[in-house]
Structure 1
Amino acid sequence: MYDSYGENRHTADNINHGVIKGKQYFFVDQKLVFKIVLCDDEERFLDLEKDLIAEYFDKKGIPFSVDCFYSGEELLANDVLLDIADLIILDVEMKGIDGITAAKKIREKNDKVNIAFLSAHMNYSTDGYHVRAIRFILKTLDDIKDYLFECLDSVLTNEDLNDREITMDFTIGKRTVKVNDILYLKSCGNYTAFELLNDSKENYMIRHSLKQTTETMSAFDFVSIASTVTVNLHHIRAVTRYMVLLDNGEEIPVSQRKYNEVCRAYTLFRGKNA
């Protein structure tokens, strides 16, 4: 049996309005959502894994989806998911096609996807090397949370979410932009303007307030520096006294109220990306 989890997390190829734990993600699309596939023939563990993944991503504010399969046969029949998944977590000991065999077949179709294994026994770890498994998650009620969260931390550390693309309904029509191409967001009343690296002559504006847009972009490395401006941390060259200097040489004032918060966010970002 196949189960798609998180109805409010992804419902179509392009979502203009989605809700994650009360937050609006009004321009989430399939390229933006972090896609996880679970394959486990034990329903109680599958439910636990889904809940833990939801807890992890909701806390980080990252849009995600979880698709679940109860057998290796069902999973391998879904070529679309195998092609677009960011992480596939397989139970090693399943009836029929086991996790190791399924992983070998997945590698024939997708050489880049992250694969992790679930097992109550760690003696399968050598088999994982042949399919370049990133982690073995200990499948016990006492340990699974710590192992699973560490696995997700590892994947996200190597996954640059800012390198992804987002598709939005701008006032000039639907457009797709790379998150890394966004310098900053600027309030224009009830609209938000996107200032891009390529200095486009088109006005990239959406019909949402800066506050709403900043909440949505919290999944990425953006920081609010004033009530009217939110900046992409990837493009801050330096933070001086109540001022940020961007890669393009532009200087933008930082509000006194937000200055300490901006300094802290920038310091943490620099440390993480050192």
Structure 2
Amino acid sequence: MKIAICDDEKIFREQLKNYLYQYYKSLDVVIEGFSSGESFLTVYQSNPQAYELIFMDIEMETLDGIKTAKKIRDFNREVILIFLTSHLEYAMDGYEVDAFRFLAKPVSQIKLKVALQDVQNEINRNKKMLIKDFDKEILIKYRDIVTIEAQNVNISIHTMNDFYLIRKTLAKMEEEVKGTMFYKPHRSYLINLGYIMHYTNKLITMENGDLIPLSRNKLKELKDALIFYVKICGK
């Protein structure tokens, strides 16, 4: 996950960056800071899909946050924008550019945590993968996948009601879903943490009825993954 902070106050940028690193901890997150809308757009225009989340100060000199956001929307309508402001009366302008959230300065860590949980849920809702199922191409949302199982040179993808067999290695799939809601409890499986019903030290029961083996000595790791999932997604 790549995050941008665009704010002309260096102290605030560093403080917010520290908050974000503390929150995400072990998650693979890259955070980049920019001191102006111009400097951000110079980088952004070369790769508009690079960032999943942008924190934008509304009150910046020369090119303010709203004008910067309008230019961002010319390139990318989907990226999540959170506006930062010391004057909430400016917040209404943010709806013109589909702002996801407004946070008042100085930023409350509690409100930031809630916002980040909502961001992760939004990302999880919208992330999709394209798979080939025989002669059809199908878009599947990550949130709908319950389990992924390695089967020789193929993998089987299970949702609550469907099953797909595609030619791909589990290692490749693991790389694709890295940093999302998936966990690897066994060398042959990936599971969606949001669909776990219950587990023992040997077996995980999923909501669709799949029974997934839990490798020896992975119980604590699974518990930690669930705690982290609840923290990040708020459920």
Judge same fold: TM > 0.5, yes or no: yes
Deviations 1:226-269 (A, max 9, x none): 7x66540369686588655668976445589849x77x95xx98
Matches within 5 A, 1:213-252: 219-222=180-183, 224=185, 231-233=190-192, 243-244=203-204, 251-252=211-212
Once the two structures are overlaid, the 10-residue window that deviates more, 77-86 or 64-73, is 77-86
Residues 149, 253 of structure 1: alpha-carbon distance in 2 compared, 3 angstrom cutoff: closer
In 1, are the aligned partners of 2:146 and 2:208 still within 8 Å (CA)?
no
Task: Give distance in 2, aligned partners of 1:200 and 1:256.
Answer: 28
Give % identity: 25
Deviation, 1:84, is 2.6
SS in 1 for 2:84: strand
Whether 1:147 and 2:106 are equivalent positions in the alignment is no
1:158 maps to a residue whose letter is E
In 2, are the aligned partners of 1:181 and 1:196 still within 8 Å (CA)?
no
Deviation, 1:217, is 5.6
TM-score, scaled relative to structure 2 = 0.65
Choose the corresponding residue for 1:68, options 27, 33, 49. Answer: 33
TM-score, scaled relative to structure 1 = 0.57
Deviations 1:165-189 (A, max 9, x none): 7xxxxxxxxxxxx975961479xxx
Task: Give distance in 1, aligned partners of 2:103 and 2:215.
Answer: 45
In 2, are the aligned partners of 1:138 and 1:147 still within 8 Å (CA)?
no
Task: Give distance in 2, aligned partners of 1:240 and 1:36.
Answer: 34
Deviations 1:69-108 (A, max 9, x none): 1111122222134333211111111111011111122112
Residues 95, 45 of structure 1: alpha-carbon distance in 2 compared, 3 angstrom cutoff: same
Pairwise CA RMSD: 4.2
Task: Give distance in 2, aligned partners of 1:113 and 1:53.
Answer: 18
Unpaired runs of 5+ in structure 1? 1-33, 166-177, 187-192, 207-212
Deviation, 1:148, is 2.7
Per the alignment, residue 161 of structure 2 pairs with: none
In 2, are the aligned partners of 1:119 and 1:136 still within 8 Å (CA)?
yes
1:220 maps to a residue whose letter is M
SS in 1 for 2:48: helix
Q: How many residues align?
A: 204
Per the alignment, residue 122 of structure 2 pairs with: 158
Task: Give distance in 1, aligned partners of 2:58 and 2:68.
Answer: 9
Choose the corresponding residue for 1:107, options 66, 73, 78. Answer: 73
In 1, are the aligned partners of 2:58 and 2:83 still within 8 Å (CA)?
yes
Per the alignment, residue 57 of structure 1 pairs with: 24
Per the alignment, residue 21 of structure 1 pairs with: none
Deviation, 1:54, is 1.1
SS in 2 for 1:125: helix
SS in 1 for 2:121: helix
1:104 maps to a residue whose letter is K
Unpaired runs of 5+ in structure 2? 130-140, 158-163
Deviation, 1:149, is 2.5
Residues 110, 229 of structure 1: alpha-carbon distance in 2 compared, 3 angstrom cutoff: closer
SS in 1 for 2:18: helix
In 1, are the aligned partners of 2:149 and 2:188 still within 8 Å (CA)?
yes
Deviation, 1:62, is 2.0
1:88 maps to a residue whose letter is I
Task: Give distance in 2, aligned partners of 1:235 and 1:95.
Answer: 43
